[in-house]
């Protein structure tokens, strides 16, 4: 074990050996093995956004096997998906790449301004399917925050007891926030702190914008001249909010967009000290060879000294 991986794992000293082993397996898999950097392919969009919106741009993506093979062939650290997808691939692929079972999901057929995802699978499913982690979405800003936080508490407790890594998608959303506020730098920093305090080992958030949503927060940012003018500065601030960088935070790619725009965003995310990226639609909505070439470029960015 090299010094960087040893340092990262030391931040989780209170965990049992099973959790440490599974966290190690994510950090030591794929082309970024041993670097402390992480790139994950998440494919829960079929449930979250609908199948046509997710997979029509690249029809092979209707098959969950397509995604796990893409993640393996690209040399990624892990692949995350809901229960049905993991069930379809686990027997053949569970040992070939670390799998993260997404244990709750939200659909758009009843798109409430205050969403609360449904718990759709459990720790027992993850263990049976050979997963190394469970993933859970929370929506800070929703009036249903209490229900979600308490569900995380129960799920995380059981996951830890069984040696599984806990991954939290912390996505601010709800009637307490404006649309612009969902990615405001103060709100994203708050969201990452909430996920860390809920016990997440690995946290997924969206890249923050320069907007400041909360007036009381604005006063603090201005008083202490917290730099948020560039994406790298905002990422650095978000990392600071995750126990001063002692929790693994990775940033989403968001809706599909032009390759150069995504690549520049990832360069800024890396410059800000993030651990990596979790890229769904910007990967799997491209034809396979183009997706592999794109992910190769992403990995090379994180490999740069």
**Nearest by Cα to 9 from 26, 236, 169:** 26
d(CA 169, CA 156): 13
pLDDT score, position 165: 98
Q: Is residue 160 part of a domain?
A: yes
What is the total count of domains within the chain?
1
Q: Using the structure block, give the residue that is written with the tokens 């709750």.
A: 104
pLDDT at 193 > cutoff 80? yes
Average pLDDT score over residue span 238-259: 92
Torsion of CA 99, 46, 297, 241, to 10 degrees: -70
| Axis crossing angle, helix 64-74 with helix 288-303, rounded to the nearest 10 | 40
* Helical segments of the chain, H only: 3-10, 17-27, 45-49, 51-55, 64-74, 83-93, 123-128, 145-161, 185-197, 215-223, 231-241, 259-271, 281-284, 288-303
Can you give the residue range of the structural domain that contains 129? 3-13+37-303
Residue 1: pLDDT over 90? no
| C-alpha to C-alpha distances, 114 to 86, 127, 183, 230, nearest whole angstrom | 28, 31, 16, 30
CATH code of 137's domain = 3.20.20.70
23 is a domain residue: no
Position 32 in a domain: no
In this predicted structure, what is the pLDDT of residue 210? 97
Over residues 215-229, the mean pLDDT reads 98
For the segment 12-30, what is each residue's pLDDT rounded down to a tens digit? Answer: 999 999 999 999 999 999 9
How far apart are the C-alpha atoms of 252 and 53, rounded to whole Å?
Answer: 18
Q: Dump strand ranges (E) for 106-149.
A: 118-119, 133-138
Q: Does any domain span residue 29?
A: no
Tell me the pLDDT band of 292, cut-offs 50, 70 and 90: very high
The answer to whether 135 and 168 are in contact (CB under 8 A) is: yes
The answer as to whether 232 is a domain residue is yes
Q: Is residue 25 part of a domain?
A: no
> Is the distance from CB of 121 to CB of 100 less than 8 angstroms?
no
Active site residues: 204
Residue 24 belongs to a domain: no
Per residue in 38-87, pLDDT tens?
999 999 998 999 999 999 999 999 999 999 999 999 999 999 999 999 99
Give the span between the Cα atoms of 205 and 182, in whole angstroms.
Answer: 11
Query: Is 20 a domain residue?
Result: no
């Amino acid at each position: 074990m090299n010094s960087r991986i040893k340092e990262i794992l030391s931040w989780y000293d209170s965990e049992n050996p099973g959790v440490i082993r599974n966290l190690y397996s994510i950090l030591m898999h794929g082309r970024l093995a041993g670097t402390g950097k992480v790139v994950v392919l998440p494919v829960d969009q079929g449930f979250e956004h609908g199948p046509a919106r997710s997979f029509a741009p690249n029809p092979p993506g209707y098959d969950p096997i397509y995604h796990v093979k893409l993640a393996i062939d690209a040399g990624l650290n892990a692949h995350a998906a809901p229960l049905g997808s993991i069930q379809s691939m686990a027997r053949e692929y569970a040992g070939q790449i670390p799998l993260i079972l997404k244990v709750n999901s939200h659909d758009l057929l009843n798109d409430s301004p205050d969403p609360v995802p449904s718990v759709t699978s459990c720790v027992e499913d993850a263990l049976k399917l050979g997963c190394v982690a469970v993933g859970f979405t929370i929506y800070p800003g929703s009036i249903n925050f209490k229900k979600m936080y308490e569900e995380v508490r129960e799920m995380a407790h059981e996951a830890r007891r069984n040696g599984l890594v806990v991954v939290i998608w912390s996505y601010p959303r709800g009637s307490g926030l404006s649309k612009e506020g969902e990615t405001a730098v103060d709100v994203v920093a708050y969201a990452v702190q909430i996920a860390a305090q809920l016990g997440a080992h690995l946290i997924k958030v969206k890249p923050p914008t320069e907007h400041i949503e909360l007036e009381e927060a604005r006063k603090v940012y201005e008083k202490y001249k917290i730099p948020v003018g560039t994406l790298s500065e905002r990422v650095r601030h978000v990392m600071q909010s995750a126990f001063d960088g002692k929790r693994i935070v990775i940033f989403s790619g968001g809706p599909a967009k032009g390759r150069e725009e995504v690549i520049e965003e990832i360069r800024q995310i890396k410059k800000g000290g993030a651990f990596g990226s979790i890229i769904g639609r910007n990967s799997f909505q491209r034809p396979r060879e183009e997706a592999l070439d794109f992910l190769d470029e992403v990995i090379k960015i994180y490999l740069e000294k």
